[in-house]
Amino acid sequence: MGKYLHFFKTNVQQFFEYRTDLAVSLALKLFSFIAFAFIWSRIAEEGNVIREYGLSGIIIYYLLTIVLHGLTTSQSARDLRDSILTGQLSSNLVKPFKVSIYLLTKHFARVTSETILHVLLVCPILFLFPSLVGEFHIGTVSLLQFVIVVAFSSVLNFNIFFTIGLAAFWTKEATGLQAVIRNSTRLFTGELMPVDLFPQVIQKITVLLPFQYILFFPIKILLSDVSLKTFTDALLVIIIWNIFFCVINFLLWKFGLKQYEAVGI
């Protein structure tokens, strides 16, 4: 346990060493938020109804996507891919720790670091626009549901990208695969717009897929009181997908290691 805590602390420290990269990342997220706020304000000015959100609600939604992106972000595909392609995995396999637990520890170190960074971005915005805070109320039950869902969703995102990273056992093009999947799923996670603004047929499909539970559903818990049944149904879907990806990852890891050792990378 002690070695994983050491990994955690080391990775958090390393994250904040790259100050220029962090500043650029914050600037891009701020620009993205301003762009979304401008687009939706224009939509509202033209008399279009943003369903139950309203303009202030949709702005709060995008502020929360910034925070949720930190809480659920995952670089497990890149970390695993790099260790395979560089041969670092060979060294890690003979060390006294499990590679999967090490990568999960690294994931939560990044989640912690990203969340701190994103909260530091959101707080000044709320300070400049205090009216947004007045419309945002979180109950105790909602907060508890949010924490539970985010914990499972963060692991789910880790598992999804761990699966993608395992492709590096068989191809050097895993980077492209990761980019395609990450960009193509942004719509279904709710990063680009709330999922409940989609047509009903698409909403019914996304309920069964894992992606909306990474961003959209945790935000929905905070913005509206979801029923206990809705919460438990969603949690069950998240758990099932986590089990599914854990089984897939176990099998791919087993076959991938045979490939790795046979090629002698």
Cβ atoms of residues 40 and 58 within 8 Å: yes
CA 158 from centroid of its chain's CA atoms: 8
Indicate the burial class of 30 (C-beta count within 10 angstroms; 0-12, 13-18, 19 or more): middle
> Tell me, what's the pLDDT at 247?
97
> Tell me, what's the pLDDT at 239?
97
From residue 50, how far is each of 62, 114, 161, 213 by CA, in Å?
Answer: 14, 30, 33, 22
Task: Give dist(CA 194, CA 176) in Å, integer.
Answer: 27
Token pair of 44, please? 């509202």
Task: Give dist(CA 14, CA 251) in Å, integer.
Answer: 32
> Tell me, what's the pLDDT at 49?
58
- Phi first, then psi: what are they for 28, rounded to 5°? -65, -40
* pLDDT top residue among 37 and 112: 112
Confidence of residue 178 (pLDDT cuts 50, 70, 90): confident
pLDDT at position 123 over 70 = yes
**Residue 182: domain span:** 2-263
Confidence of residue 145 (pLDDT cuts 50, 70, 90): very high
User: How many residues does this entry show for the chain?
Assistant: 265
> Tell me, what's the pLDDT at 134?
67
- Ramachandran area for residue 87 (φ above 0: left; ψ -120 to 50: alpha; else beta): left
Residue 126's H or E segment, with its range, is: helix 99-128
Q: What is the pLDDT of residues 228-252, one digit of tens each?
A: 999 999 999 999 999 999 999 999 9
Mean pLDDT of 192-204: 88
pLDDT at position 130 over 70 = yes
- The tally of domains found in the chain comes to 1
CA 103 from centroid of its chain's CA atoms: 15
Q: What is the pLDDT of residues 43-73, one digit of tens each?
A: 877 766 577 777 888 888 999 999 998 898 8
